[in-house]
Structure 1
């Protein structure tokens, strides 16, 4: 077996890989660590879901491994140093979900601006009509300049929103701000001036609890929040307090970690917090882009040694004729497809 799939590719990309390599699709192994180790022993490449963590121990059980592939963004579930030491390539479809995540954030903003739509969608046809708001003319805070923010900014400009932004890792003089037509501001100004805030910070462990009481103390009353960043970015107590006292009118987050708003959490009973199960990246188009990217990079990785050997045959060693004389470089009698 060359390739072990724990996450399915689209049929076209899977067929393309199967025509070139031995492929085994075993998504059930994501919940069976012992069986996964046995299956990975002879695999040269694996495609893994988010919940499967790649550690040094995992790599020890996969001595032939050359590539670890993910259909999503984020490396906190992969020991990159261990992969470097073992010369295992880490493949991620980092841009495949940019558009779909931006559309998710825009849709979330529109739903929160017009909360009555949500009530109708869940079947409450006779709910009290709530006075909605318009994105046109409102101030939207771009919190974090991850690639998704670039696409979202274009969408929001087209709808007439004014954009201000902050990123803890991007200086306010960086040219990216002017290219996106986003006015860079301080964190306090972002909180106090934005009608709505979209969170797409590139998460790192140093940002755990970054959105805390001190930061949310400056919220403009009745603010709306949407986000696709890791929920570890939020201090749960601080967010619950802001949602309860009206500083944040409503918040919609995609893909919160386990326990974030479960029973026992201060967020558990709040009716103005909406969590979705990583819907941002779940579109046919993003799945197609991610599948083909992963398929091509895996093939590229596994074919590399073979192609290198073919190059050496084509231009390196000289072939001897029957009399012991050199006849020049041998021309390969095959075609690489």
Structure 2
């Protein structure tokens, strides 16, 4: 059933027309007008301010959605987070302003888990630097490390972490995991040993971060925590940048125990050229792209589109937060 008055839907996640054609067509066939983010990055407050006054729904990337923005958007009824994490959305204020927020739990889990495997291998074998070396016709045959026989420590044992554990089984590794609310059945099925936060840090050869961004996890990895890690160990982060004190990570790479690191997320995004981590040795850096796959875009695009249409039609959407 088509909606009246052509509600305007702002899409701040990038590449929407390219990879979310079905979702865009679904919204348009229900009478919606799509306003896309063509900047290839999260929108600033000033950029949001220029377009939010007459929008009814948002397919939100990682832009900041708070009361300051909500005050400017009197018609806004629905925010469909294009992903899982909603730390960029003030849920309490959204409720106050009558805005229903949804996300897509598990929608990008496989993509992120696969990318985490890629970061682990890239860090162990220095693959990005070897690629750049070969492109310059250098013959830098770096001696790296094998994944086989390593202990992998997972901080967080949710959907992404469990998928990562399953994918790592074929590498003949030992896997341990910390979670505040551990899923013992899943751990048993995946042959994962549940452990304390401290044990994961102090006994793992590779620590992979999968904790959500919450007030209690802010900078949960600092000088003390990195100092507990084994000499020559590796740190991987595909979760959220705020869980890591970036200065402490850099110190752990330059003067501390870390043999290397690979990160896809940063405390401030998009990451600035002046971020010291970008020029630190022994770290692989990627631009928050772990979830960027064709399959994820299609699934998440359709799920968020349906949720927004449900809200605008007075129905209860799936994954309402």
TM-score norm. by structure 1 comes to: 0.80
1:47-67: per-residue Cα shift (whole Å, max 9, x none)?
Answer: 23212x222242233223221
Deviation at 1:287, TM superposition (A): 0.8
TM-fit CA distance, 1:232: 2.1
Aligned runs of 1:18-167 on 2, under 5 Å? 18-27=28-37, 31=43, 33=45, 36-37=48-49, 39-51=51-63, 53-115=64-126, 117-124=127-134, 125-167=137-179
CA contact (8 A) 1:38 1:61 kept: no
Larger radius of gyration: 1
TM-score (norm 2): 0.84
* CA 18–66 in structure 1, closer or farther in 2 if over 3 Å, else same: same
Instruction: Write the distance in 2 (CA, Å) between the matches of 1:48 and 1:260.
Output: 15
Answering whether residue 246 of structure 2 is matched by residue 236 of structure 1, we say: yes
User: Are the aligned partners of 1:254 and 1:278 in contact in 2 as well (CA < 8 Å)?
Assistant: yes
**Unpaired segments of 5 or more residues in structure 2?**
1-5, 316-321
* 1:136 counterpart SS class: coil
C-alpha offsets along residues 298-326 of structure 1, whole Å, 9 cap, x if unaligned?
A: 12222236xxxxxxxxxxxxxxxxxxxxx
Cα shift at 1:28:
5.2
Looking at structure 1, the residues matched to 273 and 68 of structure 2 have their Cα atoms a distance apart, in angstroms, of 33
**Structure 1, unaligned stretches of length 5 or more?**
306-337
Structure 2 residue aligned with 1:245, among 255, 269, 282? Answer: 255
Three-state SS of the structure 2 residue aligned to 1:76 is coil
Q: CA deviation at 1:69?
A: 1.6
Distance apart, 1:104 and its partner CA: 0.7
User: 227, 230, 233: which one pairs with 1:220?
Assistant: 230
Aligned counterparts of 1:255 and 1:140: Cα–Cα separation in 2: 20
Higher relative contact order (CA 8 A, sep 6+): 2
| Partner of residue 279, structure 1 | 289
Does the 8 Å CA contact 1:6/1:28 hold for their aligned counterparts? Answer: no
Deviations 1:171-223 (A, max 9, x none): 5x844432432111223322232111111111212222211222222211111
1:260–1:269 distance in 2 versus 1, CA, 3 Å: farther
2:66, 2:90 within 8 Å by CA — same for their partners in 1? yes
Paired positions, count:
301
Which piece of structure 1 moves more, 35-44 or 246-255? 35-44
Write the distance in 1 (CA, Å) between the matches of 2:274 and 2:52: 38
Shift >6 Å, 4+ stretches: none
Contact 1:4/1:40 (CA < 8 Å) preserved in 2? Answer: no
Q: Classify 1:268/1:297 alpha carbon distance in 2 versus 1 (closer, same or farther; 3 Å).
A: closer
Check whether the contact 1:146–1:202 (CA below 8 A) recurs between aligned residues. Answer: no
Q: What is the Cα-based RMSD across aligned positions, in Å?
A: 2.6
The residue number in structure 2 matching 1:4 is 9
Shift of 1:246: 5.4
Match of 1:331 in 2: none
1:304 counterpart SS class: coil
